[in-house]
A and B are shown apart, each in its own frame.
Chain A
Amino acid sequence: MLSYVIRRLLLLIPMAAGMVIVTFCLLLLIPGDPASVLLGQEASAEAINNLRTTLGLNDPWYIRLGSYFAALLQGDMGRSIFQNQAVSEIIAGRLGATIELAVVALILACLIGISLGVLAATKQGSLIDTVSMIFAQLGVSMPVYWLGLLLMLLFAVTLGWLPSIGRGVPLPEALIAAITGQPGVFLDSLSHIILPALALAANSAAIISRLVRTSMLEVLREDFVRTAYAKGLRRGRVVIRHALRNALLPVLSVIGLRFGALLGGAVLTETIFAWPGLGQLTITAISQRDLPLIQGIVLTFAIIFALVNLVVDLLYAAVDPRIRLG
C-alpha cells in the first residue's frame, strides 16, 4: 500500500506542473498586448506600463513561466490587479464557503443518489424504478442555475420557508454553537445552505443513482448474494450489508470526480444564491478581467480537484486490494 501511495503522490507532481502551465498559458492566449487588453482602452500609458512590469510582460515567456513556478512554490500567486491584495489571501478568504457548499452538496448527492439507486435496483421494473430513473434523467439534463432559480422561487419567494440568498455563520462554527446551546445559529446556517446545496447536488445525485442502480443490479446477480439469501438472511440485510457494500466500490471513484463537478457547479450556484465563495469571486474576477486572480482561482480549483481524486484513489485502493496490486 505504501508504494502505491508514493507512486500516486509522485504522479501528482507532473500533474500539478501541467496545471500550472495551462493556467500560465491563459495569459498567452490574450490577443494583442495583455496589459492594454486587461486595463481597457481608457487606461493611461503609465498604468499599462506598470501592469506590464507587474505581469513581467517585458521578459520572454519562458522566464515568466520560471518566475511563475518559483513564486507558486513559495505560495505566491501574485497580486490582484483591481483589489490590490495578494491573490492567495483573497482566495483563502473565500475558499471555506465553497468547500462547505460542495461538501454539503456531495453528502446530499450521495444520500439521494444511493437511496434512489438502491430502491430502483431492488424494485426493478416497478413504478419506483421508473420514477427514480425519470428523476435521474431530468437531474442530468437540468441546468444547475435553472434548478436553483426554481427552488428559490418555490421555497423562498412563494412559500417563504427558507432564505433566498446569503450565508449564515460557517457550518463548523454553527455546529459548535449548537453544541454549546445555541441551536438557532445552526438552524439559520442550515436554512441558508440547504437550497444552494440541493440545487448543486441534483446533477450528481442523478448520476450517482444511475450508477448505483446499474452496479446493484450486477451485484444482486452474484453468487454470494444468492448464498446470503439461501442462508435465510432477511432481504434488507442482504441488500444493505452484502450487495450495497460491493456495489458502492465503482461508485466511490465517481464520487471523487463529482466533487470536481460540484466545485465547477458552485460558480453558478453561488452566483444565484449570492453565496460568498470562490465561485462568486470567479465571476467578479472574470468581469474585471483580473488575470492574476483568475489564474489563481483556476489553479486552486484544479489542485483541490487533484487532491480530492488522490484521496479517493487511496481510499479505493484501501478498500479494494486489486487496485494497488494491479
Chain B
Amino acid sequence: MRLPKRFRNISLILGAIIVLAIVVCAVFAPYLSTHGIEQMDMRNRFSGPTLAHWLGTDNFGRDLWSRLIYGARVSLLIACISVFASAIIGTAVGLAAGYFGGWTDLVLMRITDIFLGFPAIVLALAIVAVLGPGIVNVAIAIIVVAWTEYARVVRATTLMLREQNYVQAAKALGAHPLRILVKEILPNAMGPIIVLASLGFGTAIISESALSFLGFGLPPPAPTWGWTLAYGTRFMRDEPWLAIISGATIMITVLGFNLLGDGLRDALDPRHLSRAAGRKK
C-alpha cells in the first residue's frame, strides 16, 4: 500500500518516525529498559555511555536510558491529556463563536484573548503553585493557555464553512445548530485541528518539562525529563552529558511532533504548501 502523494513529504515522514519511536519507547518501557529507574550501581557512577548503560549513569549510578524512556511515559501522558482537553475546549469555543457570531462571538473571543494575553509558562506556574503538583494539575496548567489557539483557528475555519452551500442547505432543512456544527462543520474543520494537536504535543512536552525543570512538575521519584535535566545541571561542569542527553531527548521529541505537524499542514492544506514552497524563480 502506497501513501497518497500529498502525504509523501520528508517533514511528515521524519516526524512520524521520531514520534513513533518515542511512543514505542514509552509504551514498551518495561521491556526496553535495561535497569530499574531507581536501581543504583554505585561502582559505575557517572559511567558515560557503555554497553551496560547505553546513555550512561548519574551520580547514584542510575541508568539514564531507563529513566528517560520511563520519563517519556510521563511526558506523553501529560501531553495527551492536555492536547485532547485543549482541543475539545478550544474547538467547542471556536465552533460556537464562528457559527453563532454576534455577541456569542464577541464574548467568547474576548475571553480567548484574555487567556492568550498571559505568558503561558507564567500562568502555568501560578496554577501549579495554587493547585499543587500532580499529573492532572500540570495538565490543567497547560490546558488553561493551550485551548486558545484551537478556539481562534476553529473560529476562523467555521466562519468560512458556515457560508458553504451544504451548511446553508442543512440550515434550510431545519437542522438543529448542534447537528450542523457536529455533522457538517466539525468534520471539515478537522484538518487544522489535527495539525494544531500535533504541534500542541510539542508545546505541551516543552511546558511540562519546563515546569519539572523549575521544580514545579511531578515530584521525584517520577523520572520526568525536566527533572532529569535539572538534576543533570548540578554536575554540568564535570559531567555535562547528563544534562546534554536529557535536553536532547526533549528536543528530539518536540522536533518530531513539530515536523509531523508541519508535514500534516502541508498535506492537509494545499494553500499552505504553495505558500511555504513558493514558486522558484
Among A140, A286, A302, the residue within 8 A (CB) of B117 is: A302
Is A31's CB within 8 Å of the partner chain B? yes
B214 touches A268 (CB 8 A): yes
B250 touches A264 (CB 8 A): no
**What chain A residues lie within 8 Å of B262 (beta carbons)?**
137
Central interface residue in A125, A146, A285, by most chain B CB within 10 Å: A146
| Inter-chain contact total with CB atoms closer than 8 Å | 147
Q: What CA separation (Å) do A307 and B209 show in the bound complex? A: 29
Measured CB to CB, the nearest residue on chain B to A229 is B281
From B48-56, B64-72, B108-116, the one touching the partner chain is: B108-116
Contact with B along A234-273 (1 / 0, CB 8 A): 0000000000000000000000000011011101100100
From B25-33, B127-135, B188-196, the one touching the partner chain is: B127-135
Is A19's CB within 8 Å of the partner chain B? yes
B110 touches A121 (CB 8 A): no
B255 touches A15 (CB 8 A): no
> Which residues of A, 137-153, contact B by the 8 Å Cβ criterion?
137-138, 140-146, 149-150, 152-153
A141 touches B119 (CB 8 A): no
Is B173's CB within 8 Å of the partner chain A? no
Q: What CA separation (Å) do A30 and B237 show in the bound complex? A: 40
B278 touches A143 (CB 8 A): no
Is B160's CB within 8 Å of the partner chain A? no
B247 touches A146 (CB 8 A): yes
Is B121's CB within 8 Å of the partner chain A? yes
B209 touches A218 (CB 8 A): no
State the Cβ distance, B26 to closest chain A Cβ, in Å. Answer: 18
State the Cβ distance, B204 to closest chain A Cβ, in Å. Answer: 13
Is B161's CB within 8 Å of the partner chain A? no
Measured CB to CB, the nearest residue on chain B to A203 is B206
State the Cβ distance, B36 to closest chain A Cβ, in Å. Answer: 26
Is A315's CB within 8 Å of the partner chain B? no
Q: What CA separation (Å) do A149 and B275 show in the bound complex? A: 36
Interface of B is mostly: helix
B130 touches A30 (CB 8 A): yes
Is B20's CB within 8 Å of the partner chain A? no
A217 touches B119 (CB 8 A): no
A291 touches B130 (CB 8 A): yes
Q: What CA separation (Å) do A214 and B265 show in the bound complex? A: 14
**What chain A residues lie within 8 Å of B21 (beta carbons)?**
none
Q: What CA separation (Å) do A265 and B206 show in the bound complex? A: 11
A19 touches B121 (CB 8 A): no
A305 touches B118 (CB 8 A): yes
Is A107's CB within 8 Å of the partner chain B? no
Given the contacts A29-B130, A145-B213, A217 and B236 also touching, CB distance less than 8 Å:
no
Is A26's CB within 8 Å of the partner chain B? yes
> Which residues of B, 210-242, contact A by the 8 Å Cβ criterion?
210, 213-216, 229, 233, 236-237, 240
Q: A residues within 8 Å of B by Cβ? A: 14-15, 18-19, 22, 26-27, 29-31, 121, 124-125, 137-138, 140-146, 149-150, 152-153, 157, 214, 217-218, 220-221, 260-261, 263-265, 267-268, 271, 282-283, 285-287, 289, 291, 294-295, 297-298, 301-302, 305-306, 309
List 5 additional contacts besides A141-B251, A143-B254, A149-B243; criterion CB under 8 Å.
A153-B240, A157-B237, A267-B214, A301-B118, A302-B118
User: 10 closest pairs, A vs B, by CB?
Assistant: A264-B119, A217-B278, A146-B247, A18-B114, A141-B255, A141-B254, A286-B129, A264-B121, A29-B130, A30-B130
